[in-house]
Structure 1
Amino acid sequence: MDEAQTPQFFLFKDTIARYALSGISDQQADQEEGSELDEFVSYLASEAWPTVPTAAQDATYDTRDKVPEIDQIALESTSFAFIDSLISYGIIEDADDAYKLFRRILDDYREQACAPPPVWSSTRTTECEICAREVPLTYHHLIPRAVHAKVLKQAWHPESMINSVAWLCRPCHTMVHKVASTEKLAREFYTVELLLGREDIQKWQKYAAKQRHGVRHR
């Protein structure tokens, strides 16, 4: 996957942006167009990212034990263009400050990339995630509990995803379990987006969205 398409790269870029914006004056920020600031941050990220260890580039909660501590990362290979740009933009004064800043950026990035997944109950919505009606909701295990052991044994998904849920009304919940077996749901339709990609779910969605509370699945 191209570096610019990985969630980790975007997280790294956003981390740089926070530090860069805090290091420039309000007047300088006002003078810059939003697109120019974005281009500058994108440039910094693209220059610095190749020097980040591969294990850190691939950092997730599930790989956190493989990600080196930031103090263990040698910064001698840090891009000169990255350092020079920080100095030229007035964000830091010299190379020593640049190394210190880069270490803080890496530390912040590592903490975010390796953060544990959310408590799924906290993702509760007020509308069904399929039909979008505001009705009483149930939670659908996107990876059905009946196949959790097999999922982990076969390494279909990382452990951090095992308890992910979607908040669905009862009719939509019933429909989901009708269109595929528990194993197929676990392997192929383990997100709401993947479920909504099915033609039969799309047809059901259009029907259910027009119904009042109490629609009967058929």
Structure 2
Amino acid sequence: MSEPTSEQFSLFKDSIARRLLDQPGMNTSSESSDLDDFSSYLASESWPSLPQSVREATYESRSNVPDSETISLDSTSTSFDDTLISYGLAADTDEAHKFLRKSLADYIEQACAPPPIWKSTRATECEICERTVPLTYHHLIPRSTHTKVLKKGWHPEYMLNSVAWLCRQCHSAVHHVAGNEDLARYFHTVELLLEREDIQKWRRYASKQRFGVRWSQRPPS
């Protein structure tokens, strides 16, 4: 069976790993790769049997995610239980399920956690030119578009205050290449901005400029 790949699965696997490290019968001196392999195996054995709403849990879908104590574990692979029992990490199936529920509780808490307060994500380098210079924050979804963004359903409400930390020159360049509505709808992350050829050209130019020297803020053609 191939191992699932998703951000949620990784969170679940890490939750299992942390619970394994808490077990008195776990050999904490083992190589980290051994722990990774073991937690990956346990996660892979139990993940497919979990409700889809749990496997796709996010902050936006949190109201549809059941509490870990109410999730049925009847269809969980017996390999999960047998492995914990054979390694002395659980005395019986009930204890194995208790371990899994605690791991699920940790996972659900993380998967459904609210996004960070955007202004607290401040960087030390401009997210476009990567120079270590004084930064400003650029509202990735301009404030003037917030009402329309919600009305049209372009983005969820929690994204409205997302910001990128940009130097003044890169900040000006971003607003030069697109209007506020286009920025809000199509270029609401740094990654999307960097997919633009004009921003890539600007980035190559700006990254070579020394801070404090007067230079044009107009992106190269």
**CA–CA separation in structure 1 for the residues paired with 2:50 and 2:113:** 18
Task: Find the residue that maps to 1:128 and give its secondary structure.
Answer: coil
Q: Which position in structure 2 is the counterpart of 1:183?
A: 181
Q: Is the 8 A contact 1:62 1:159 kept in 2?
A: no
Give 1:104 deviation, angstroms.
0.7
Give 1:61 deviation, angstroms.
1.2
Q: TM-score, normalised by structure 2?
A: 0.89
Q: Which position in structure 2 is the counterpart of 1:4?
A: 4
Q: Which position in structure 1 is the counterpart of 2:217?
A: 217
Give 1:3 deviation, angstroms.
7.7
Q: Is the 8 A contact 1:60 1:113 kept in 2?
A: yes
Give 1:73 deviation, angstroms.
1.4
Q: Which position in structure 1 is the counterpart of 2:23?
A: 23
Task: Find the residue that maps to 1:60 and give its secondary structure.
Answer: coil
Q: TM-score, normalised by structure 1?
A: 0.90
Please list every run of 5 or more consecutive structure 2 residues that lacks an aligned counterpart in the other structure: none
Q: Larger helix proportion, structure 1 or 2?
A: 1
Give 1:25 deviation, angstroms.
4.9
- Assess, with a 3 A threshold, how the Cα gap between structure 1 residues 203 and 24 changes in structure 2: closer, same or farther: farther
Give 1:15 deviation, angstroms.
0.6
Q: Which position in structure 2 is the counterpart of 1:123?
A: 121
**CA–CA separation in structure 2 for the residues paired with 1:80 and 1:21:** 22
**CA–CA separation in structure 2 for the residues paired with 1:65 and 1:3:** 27
1:156 is matched by which residue type in structure 2? W
Q: Which moved more, 1:37-46 or 1:118-127?
A: 37-46
**CA–CA separation in structure 1 for the residues paired with 2:3 and 2:188:** 25
Q: Is the 8 A contact 1:61 1:160 kept in 2?
A: no
Correspondence for 1:114 among 109, 112, 120? 112
- How many residues are aligned here? 215
Q: Does 2:58 correspond to 1:60?
A: yes
| Matched ranges for 1:20-169 at <5 A | 20-23=20-23, 25=25, 28-30=27-29, 32-169=30-167
Percentage identity across paired residues of the two chains:
60
Q: Which runs of 4+ in 1 moved over 6 A?
A: none
Q: Is the 8 A contact 1:23 1:90 kept in 2?
A: no
Please list every run of 5 or more consecutive structure 1 residues that lacks an aligned counterpart in the other structure: none
1:83-120 CA distances to partner (integer Å, 9 max, x unpaired)? 11111222222111111111111111111111111111
Task: Find the residue that maps to 2:4 and give its secondary structure.
Answer: helix
CA RMSD of aligned residues (A): 1.9
1:30-76 CA distances to partner (integer Å, 9 max, x unpaired)? 3x444333222111111111122111111111111111122221222
1:141 is matched by which residue type in structure 2? H
Q: Does 2:186 correspond to 1:170?
A: no
Task: Find the residue that maps to 1:103 and give its secondary structure.
Answer: helix
Task: Find the residue that maps to 2:113 and give its secondary structure.
Answer: coil
Task: Find the residue that maps to 1:5 and give its secondary structure.
Answer: coil
Give 1:166 deviation, angstroms.
0.2
Give 1:128 deviation, angstroms.
1.0
**CA–CA separation in structure 2 for the residues paired with 1:10 and 1:129:** 26
**CA–CA separation in structure 1 for the residues paired with 2:129 and 2:6:** 30
